[in-house]
Amino acid sequence: MNDAATVSFPSESSTSAARTVMADALRKADPVGSRAIENETNWRRHYLEHFRRAVEAGIGDPAAAHAIAADGLRSAHALMRFGEVGLDEAISGTPLTQAFHTRTIRGAAAPETELSIPYRGERLAGADLVAQLERWVTDGIITRSAADAVQTVQDNPDWLRLEGDTVVVLGAGAEMGPYRALLRWGATCVALDLPRDDVQGRVRDLATELAGTAHVPARIVTNGADDSGADLLTELPGIAHWLGGIEGRLVLGNYCYADGGTHVRLSMAADALAEHLVRERPDTALAFLATPTDTFVVPGEDVQLSNDAYGRRGASRLLRGPLRVASGGRLLQRHYAPGADPGVCDSLVPQQGPNYAFAKRLQRWRATTSRAEGTTVSLNVAPATRTRSVLKNKALAAAYAGAHRFGVEIFDPATSNTLMAALLVHDLRVAAPARPEPWQDEAASAAHGGLWTAAYDPRSALGLAAVLGIGALRG
């Protein structure tokens, strides 16, 4: 083992890794689908249909859904490496090359004692927040269960501090993470992010200005520079060892993001850490944010909202026929078949690429598998959000600017991360009911932003939304 050990693929190809893992995931539940993946010659073009199939194969068959998740994770762990050893040996079977001590920062502000969510220049609380939640439900932007969960937290403001829990925020500087909201409420966090001055400066400033307590890893051996932060890819054993000494129930939240194959590597490093912590500390809880731009099974009530929207008169209905003819049937396709229950919402976006889809699918599989094993899991679908990582893609930025024309609301980061932090608090304080199928766990408390209830199949409206959004961006 050398100092350059890192979580990595067995070869330079993330495509090869994704195909292997997805094929293994489907091998028992859908052998035909597994062979189709193995025979795929253009993964980047056709991966969307294979990721959809890996969801459809589990509908109505809980055993198949659980097998897909468990077998996919097993394959990924067998495939990935940490230096010269397998990923599963990284934490328990390799010597530490870096050790950390804890630097604690206690905020100077008083904790907020009432739930409030920033929205369009205001901060909504009390009756105003309830009214907005109801509008979102009526407009098909969030599910009724999501609104009920937020209102339950609103009715129990003492939950906001998460007394007794320490939330480990992997990717503390991420725009979509709960770090800022939790600190506002006076919670205790472990802030784990890269050892870069700009990142650590943001982490430290928030912890100082707000009300909570932040524990930050700091190097015992340093070259004299700022010694805060840790790299999950290269310092996984040291991070795991350090977290073992943190008091309180740990809530391991994966909010990491990176471009390309690095996102997959981070998801796998976080997954190895999750396995280790749950094994060593069985009361550990896990937390994830599911992207709305994925394939989900959705309940009949959301299908009905979509079909109602499809049947309403409006400009898009008048243009639907000519546009479909001109595009050879590709534009403005009906989202769901009439009466489908459940339906399948396929919102995978080609512009985000197969690595993003693979990284997020790994997280969903971990949530499914761990929940079945009795671990407390919070996984909620978050709305499409104007994050920096999305807006740097010009096509996505334009599509987001035009999305409201099709019943989809794009959220600002401050609204999204506070809303999702409130749902996290709910999940940690209210035991989830037993549901027959894993897809029903994913559909609960979803804040999908309208993608599930839109009249049209999302990809069939994406290009038109982008065209309509170009003008808005220029304006």
What tens digit of pLDDT does each residue of 33-66 get? 999 999 999 999 999 999 999 999 999 999 999 9
Residue pLDDT, tens place only, 125-135: 999 999 999 99
Name the DSSP class of 349: -
Total residue length of the chain: 475
Tokens 């969960």 belong to 149
pLDDT at residue 315 is higher than 60 = no
Measured distance between the N- and C-terminal CA atoms of the chain, rounded to whole angstroms: 55
Cis before residue 31, ω within 30 degrees of 0? no
d(CA 468, CA 143): 27
d(CA 428, CA 198): 31
Cα–Cα distance, 199 to 377 (Å, whole number): 28
Q: Report which listed range, 4-18, 224-238, 413-427, is most confident.
A: 413-427
Q: Give the contacts of 271 (CB within 8 A, at least 6 positions apart).
A: 73, 76, 77, 362, 363, 366
Q: How far is CA 406 from CA 143, 192, 306, 382, in A?
A: 18, 38, 11, 18
- 8 A C-beta contact, residue 189 and residue 105: no
The mean pLDDT of 329-344, rounded to a whole number, is 90
Half-sphere exposure of 89 (CA within 13 A, CB side): 14
pTM comes to 0.95
Q: Which residue has the higher pLDDT, 14 or 472?
A: 14
Integer angstrom CA distances of residue 161 from 164, 188, 343, 427: 9, 8, 37, 14
Asked if 118 and 125 count as a contact pair (C-beta separation under 8 A), the reply is no
Mean pLDDT in residue range 78-96: 92
Q: How confident is the model at residue 468 (pLDDT cuts 50, 70, 90)?
A: confident
198 residue type, one letter: D
Tokens of 55: 């969801």
